[in-house]
Amino acid sequence: MAEEEFRVTPWEVSGKVDYDKLRREFGTGVIDDGMRERIKRICGELHPMLSRGFFFSQRDLKLVLDDYEAKKGFFLYTGRGPSGPMHIGHLVPLLFTKWLQDKFKVNLYIEITDDEKFLFKRELSWDDVGKHSIDNILDIAAVGFDPERTFIFRDSEYIGNAYQLMLKVAKKITFSTTRAVFGFENETNIGAIFYPAYQVVPTFFEKKRCLIPNAIDQDPYWRIQRDIAESLGYLKTAAIHSKFIPPLQGISGKMSASAPESAIWLTDDEKAVKKKIMKYAFSGGQPTVEEHRRLGGNTEIDVPYQWLSILFEPSDKKLRQIHDDYASGKLLTGEIKQILVDKINEFLKEHRERKKKAEKEIERYTRNGKLATEMWERTYE
Amino acid sequence: MAEEEFRVTPWEVSGKVDYDKLRREFGTGVIDDGMRERIKRICGELHPMLSRGFFFSQRDLKLVLDDYEAKKGFFLYTGRGPSGPMHIGHLVPLLFTKWLQDKFKVNLYIEITDDEKFLFKRELSWDDVGKHSIDNILDIAAVGFDPERTFIFRDSEYIGNAYQLMLKVAKKITFSTTRAVFGFENETNIGAIFYPAYQVVPTFFEKKRCLIPNAIDQDPYWRIQRDIAESLGYLKTAAIHSKFIPPLQGISGKMSASAPESAIWLTDDEKAVKKKIMKYAFSGGQPTVEEHRRLGGNTEIDVPYQWLSILFEPSDKKLRQIHDDYASGKLLTGEIKQILVDKINEFLKEHRERKKKAEKEIERYTRNGKLATEMWERTYE
């Protein structure tokens, strides 16, 4: 594959993505300096994922900010498919979503798509999906969302409340459309074909505008929502899109659950993290120390640097120092990797402590917090 | 269309059906004298719809009787799509089902497919489906099922209990299959495509064998169930098939809700019934009284005679008398029609009284009777 070739669909990301080209192809808007300034003015600061351009594209984000400033409000929606344990890449949009919730004080709906994963993964049993759901919900709760403003729900458990609205959504979507958007085939099972209707439903949980933080490959899903929302009396959803976290092995494609060595799992212990980063993390450094001292490292393709930039080094000043030291050859490959190892292990240690604590609080998100209580009393029509 | 041509699919019945040929095409079994004798021995009598061959075909009925006699038991399942008011044709399988329940003392599940009708009828709103559901349930309850052994449920209300099992069913059915069986197309909406999974679920409500009384055109639906049941740990459903009630206008096709004049509605008053029968009911009589006296009427094609035979004259003796008198020319067209008018009006009067009474008892079927209570406490996996 030539360097400039890449492929981004909801079910495949390959090659080195030209994000600007992709954004133009998808027809989404940029996040420009003006928009960043406006968010900074409202929020008092900018999340590094915004200031560093990791979240780089949007649909109707201007309208979301307009609604917010006009006191109409908005709400957040994201989700997780419980097909297995979670890795660090899965947490990235959630961490950004938490920041948005903290700053805007808005409701957040997190859909656990147990039905989807059961239907799409041939080998996955319902029991396994159930176990992953419980574990994933704890990992999500550990992110620290506002328990009074957050509702985490499993599709199979909330179906009684959501089904009527789901029928109205489903009636607007043909098999042809799902074939074009999701790549469904004649041999796709009928549950999988229906599932996209459920994915749309939470965008209608409130009459306010919905904002979905997600990686850009998920955008096609929301085009269906935007096509049908107004005919059902709701607003088109807005979205804010991130780039992909590079897999350990190099900056092409995205971190994948089906290639375990490409990711750091939330359950990886300190030794495992160190081993993976040291052994697999693609380096932009030079083959020998001497050459590295002379030529310096290439931060553009250096996965440890990219991970620090996306997630693990929030301080711009420190990141700049690491950048300059690495580019000048002062910082060696083993050293930048060790910085990342320490950061990840610190992050994972804290995450696991929060996850442990979340066990006691989980029902506030799923059952009896303010928003959760309201949601279980409601039937959507 | 030549007389011998006919067409029977779940969505179309046209022409004069050759039931024996159809049975062979569908690959269903006969109901022969031996089977009728066996049912008579168990039940003490035979329902006229059995003895007169209106129910004429079956799948695995022998196994149902075996299970019953071996004290393993079985259960009944039927349904109603609440797309509008009900006519007499809709009651026919229900009346026979009531007889089966009375004789065998078994549980009966009646699915009100509000989701299906909403999804398949473009012009039907959710509100309308709701109104028809409530009214249809009263008409069904008026049939007089055992309120402790009968559970009448609306799909949209029971979905919370049924969804997990529905997913397991759906995972086994591809779009190709539904296209072949139900005639789905690329422009079919994704809710309609998923719906057949719900129709299968009640056949798994018990680990016993399910027996479905229905018109023969519905048989293809159950072939899917029979294909997947055992892989999910359940039994293939059995079925007992009826012929079609002829529409008023003649013995081709079937009574259709989309041709109001072809049916007698449960809400038709005495005058309306008389007018419809006198004006529209296709007669096997002769053009003039003189010819009729001389040649006699043809009961084979006479709709009033057929309706008396199928539903309105339970006495074999009286029916035989009517047959002979009509065939000999003693009974005139106007007279046999008047016999039917009186029978229908008597039936409808009693039905409306039972429907009125059912208003007070309806919750025993839907919520708090013995079976209903059990069903709401259960989640199917």
- Which residue in the block uniquely carries the two structure tokens 């003895």? B51
Work out whether strand B74-80 and strand B108-112 pair parallel, antiparallel, or are unpaired. Answer: parallel
Same domain, B244 and B265: no
Residue B364 maps to a domain:
no
- The complex's ipTM? 0.92
The CA-based diameter of chain A, rounded to the nearest angstrom, is 68
- Which residue in the block uniquely carries the two structure tokens 């041999």? A187
Same domain, A199 and A341: no
CATH code for position A314: 1.10.240.10
Chain A: closest CA distance from residue B335 (Å): 50
Between CA A314 and CA B200 the distance in angstroms is 54
Indicate yes or no: CB of B190 within 8 angstroms of CB of A176. Answer: no
Query: Is B1 touching A (CB cutoff 8 A)?
Result: no
Same domain, B267 and B227: no
B317-345 pLDDT, tens per residue?
999 999 999 999 999 999 999 999 999 99
Is A85's pLDDT higher than 80? yes
| CB-closest option in B156, B170, B176 to A191 | B170
Query: Is B183 touching A (CB cutoff 8 A)?
Result: no
Indicate yes or no: CB of B159 within 8 angstroms of CB of A156. Answer: no
Between CA A70 and CA A266 the distance in angstroms is 40
B261: left (phi over 0), alpha (psi -120 to 50) or beta: alpha
Indicate yes or no: CB of B126 within 8 angstroms of CB of A170. Answer: no
Question: Is residue B315 within 8 Å of B243, Cβ to Cβ?
Answer: no
Between CA A295 and CA A273 the distance in angstroms is 28
Query: Is A256 touching B (CB cutoff 8 A)?
Result: no
Q: A184 to chain B: nearest residue by CA?
A: B175
Same domain, A239 and A268: no
Q: Please report the pLDDT score of residue A2 as a whole number.
A: 47
Candidates B166, B176, B185, B194, partner chain A, best to mutate (most A CBs within 10 A): B194
Query: Is A188 touching B (CB cutoff 8 A)?
Result: yes
| Other beta carbons less than 10 A from residue B122's beta carbon | 8
Residue A365 maps to a domain:
no
Mean pLDDT of A122-139: 97
Residue A359 maps to a domain:
no
Same domain, B294 and B331: yes
Among the listed residues A120, A187, A366, A136, the one whose alpha carbon sits nearest the alpha carbon of residue B167: A120
Residue B121 maps to a domain:
yes
Write out the two tokens for A140: 């999500």
Q: Please report the pLDDT score of residue B150 as a whole number.
A: 98
Query: Is B116 touching A (CB cutoff 8 A)?
Result: no
CATH code for position B157: 3.40.50.620
B239 strand-pairing partners = B59, B212
Tell me which long-range contacts B220-224 makes (C-beta under 8 A, separation of at least 24).
B220/B9, B220/B10, B220/B26, B220/B181, B220/B182, B221/B10, B221/B181, B221/B182, B221/B196, B222/B59, B223/B181, B224/B173, B224/B177, B224/B181, B224/B196, B224/B200
Work out whether strand A12-15 and strand A6-9 pair parallel, antiparallel, or are unpaired. Answer: antiparallel
Mean pLDDT of A239-248: 94
Indicate yes or no: CB of A190 within 8 angstroms of CB of B176. Answer: no
Among the listed residues B323, B328, B337, B322, the one whose alpha carbon sits nearest the alpha carbon of residue B296: B328
Q: Which residues of chain A lie closer than 8 angstroms to B166, CB-CB?
A: 191
| Other beta carbons less than 10 A from residue B294's beta carbon | 10
Indicate yes or no: CB of A118 within 8 angstroms of CB of B184. Answer: no
Indicate yes or no: CB of A193 within 8 angstroms of CB of B175. Answer: yes
Same domain, B148 and B295: no
| Other beta carbons less than 10 A from residue A193's beta carbon | 30
| Lowest mean pLDDT, pick from A97-101, A176-180, A247-251, B171-175 | A247-251
Q: Domain boundary at B221, B248, B275, which? A: B248
| CB-closest option in B161, B163, B190 to A170 | B190
Same domain, B268 and B226: no
| Lowest mean pLDDT, pick from A14-28, A51-65, A225-239, B359-373 | A14-28
Q: Domain boundary at B248, B273, B298, which? A: B248
Domain boundaries, position A290:
260-354
Query: Is A190 touching B (CB cutoff 8 A)?
Result: yes
DSSP sequence for B98-110:
HHHHHHH---EEE
Residue A371 maps to a domain:
no
Indicate yes or no: CB of B187 within 8 angstroms of CB of A176. Answer: yes
Burial (CB count <10 Å: 0-12, 13-18, 19+), residue A104:
buried
Mean pLDDT of B200-219: 96
The HSE-up count of residue B288 (CA atoms within 13 Å, CB side) is 3
Among the listed residues A64, A33, A25, A28, the one whose alpha carbon sits nearest the alpha carbon of residue A50: A33
Between CA A253 and CA A244 the distance in angstroms is 8
Domain count, chain A: 2
Q: Please report the pLDDT score of residue B1 as a whole number.
A: 43
Confidence band, pLDDT 50/70/90 cuts, at residue B2: very low
Confidence band, pLDDT 50/70/90 cuts, at residue A257: low
**Mean per-residue pLDDT of chain B:** 95
Q: Which residues of chain B lie closer than 8 angstroms to A375, CB-CB?
A: none
Q: Which residues of chain A lie closer than 8 angstroms to B159, CB-CB?
A: 159-160, 163
Q: Please report the pLDDT score of residue B4 as a whole number.
A: 61
A195 φ, ψ to 5°?
-50, -40
Mean pLDDT of A139-146: 98
The HSE-up count of residue A249 (CA atoms within 13 Å, CB side) is 12
B286-311 pLDDT, tens per residue?
999 999 999 999 999 999 999 999 99
Please name the residues in contact with B223: beta carbons below 8 A apart, sequence gap of 6 or more.
B181
A212 strand-pairing partners = A239
Indicate yes or no: CB of A193 within 8 angstroms of CB of B184. Answer: no
| CB-closest option in B186, B190, B381 to A194 | B190
Indicate yes or no: CB of B119 within 8 angstroms of CB of A170. Answer: yes
Q: A115 vs A199, A200, B195, CA distance in Å?
A: 11, 14, 15
Confidence band, pLDDT 50/70/90 cuts, at residue B257: low
Q: Please report the pLDDT score of residue B84 as a whole number.
A: 95
Q: Per this entry, what is the length of chain A? A: 381
Q: B170 to chain A: nearest residue by CA?
A: A191
| CB-closest option in B163, B174, B197 to A188 | B174
Is A249's pLDDT higher than 80? yes
Indicate yes or no: CB of B160 within 8 angstroms of CB of A159. Answer: yes
Between CA A135 and CA A267 the distance in angstroms is 11
Question: Using alpha carbons only, what angle is made at residue B159 by residues B357 and A221, rounded to the nearest 5 degrees?
Answer: 140
Question: Is residue B222 within 8 Å of B182, Cβ to Cβ?
Answer: no
- Which residue in the block uniquely carries the two structure tokens 């109205």? A168
- Which residue in the block uniquely carries the two structure tokens 């000043």? A317
Is A381's pLDDT higher than 80? no
Is B262's pLDDT higher than 90? no
Same domain, A205 and A267: no
Specify the amino acid at residue B290: E
Same domain, B225 and B268: no
Between CA B45 and CA B316 the distance in angstroms is 13
Higher pLDDT, A221 or A340: A340
Indicate yes or no: CB of A171 within 8 angstroms of CB of B119. Answer: yes
Indicate yes or no: CB of A197 within 8 angstroms of CB of B191. Answer: yes
Between CA A135 and CA B237 the distance in angstroms is 38
Q: Which three-class secondary structure state does DSSP give residue B360?
A: helix
State the virtual CA torsion across A355, A356, A358, A361 in degrees, nearest 10: 180
Question: Is residue A56 within 8 Å of A86, Cβ to Cβ?
Answer: no
| CB-closest option in B167, B172, B193 to A115 | B167
Mean pLDDT of B224-233: 97
Q: Domain boundary at B219, B248, B277, which? A: B248
**Chain centre distance of CA A312:** 16
Q: Which three-class secondary structure state does DSSP give residue B38?
A: helix
Residue B161 maps to a domain:
yes
Q: Please report the pLDDT score of residue A14 as a whole number.
A: 85
Q: B253 vs B6, B15, B178, CA distance in Å?
A: 8, 5, 24
Mean pLDDT of B99-113: 98
Query: Is B191 touching A (CB cutoff 8 A)?
Result: yes
Q: Please report the pLDDT score of residue A1 as a whole number.
A: 43
- Which residue in the block uniquely carries the two structure tokens 């550990």? A142
Question: Is residue A160 within 8 Å of B376, Cβ to Cβ?
Answer: no
Indicate yes or no: CB of B187 within 8 angstroms of CB of A175. Answer: yes
Is B115's pLDDT higher than 70? yes
Residues 125 to 164 of B: which have CB under 8 A from any A CB?
126, 156, 159-161, 163-164
Is B85's pLDDT higher than 70? yes
Confidence band, pLDDT 50/70/90 cuts, at residue B228: very high
Chain B: closest CA distance from residue A263 (Å): 30
Q: A194 to chain B: nearest residue by CA?
A: B190
Same domain, B88 and B116: yes
Interface A-B, measured as beta-carbon pairs within 8 A, has a size of: 116
Query: Is B197 touching A (CB cutoff 8 A)?
Result: yes
**Mean per-residue pLDDT of chain A:** 95
Indicate yes or no: CB of B189 within 8 angstroms of CB of A179. Answer: no
Query: Is the Cα torsion angle B186, B188, B191, B196 positive or negative in sign?
Result: negative
Mean pLDDT of A284-289: 95
Chain B: closest CA distance from residue A182 (Å): 13
Q: A127 to chain B: nearest residue by CA?
A: B381
Mean pLDDT of B83-102: 96
Q: Which three-class secondary structure state does DSSP give residue B235?
A: coil
Starting at the edge strand that comes first in sequence, how are the strands of the sheet with A55-59 ordered? A29-30, A55-59, A238-242, A209-215, A74-80, A108-112, A150-154
Residue A370 maps to a domain:
no
Write out the two tokens for A118: 């059961």
Task: Determine what percent of chain A is predicted with pLDDT higher than 90.
Answer: 89
Please name the residues in contact with A290: beta carbons below 8 A apart, sequence gap of 6 or more.
none
Same domain, A243 and A264: no
Among the listed residues B350, B362, B368, the one whose alpha carbon sits nearest the alpha carbon of residue B137: B362
Write out the two tokens for A200: 């749309």
Is A5's pLDDT higher than 90? no
Between CA A22 and CA A28 the distance in angstroms is 9
Same domain, B138 and B174: yes
A189 strand-pairing partners = B174
Residue B202 maps to a domain:
yes
- Which residue in the block uniquely carries the two structure tokens 């495949």? A12
Q: B187 to chain A: nearest residue by CA?
A: A174
DSSP sequence for A207-252:
SSEEEEEEEGGGHHHHHHHHHHTGGGT-PPPEEEEE-PPPPTT-SS
Q: DSSP state, A202?
A: G
Is B13's pLDDT higher than 90? no
Is A201's pLDDT higher than 70? yes
Is A296's pLDDT higher than 90? yes
Question: Is residue B116 within 8 Å of B133, Cβ to Cβ?
Answer: no
Is B3's pLDDT higher than 70? no
Indicate yes or no: CB of B156 within 8 angstroms of CB of A164. Answer: yes
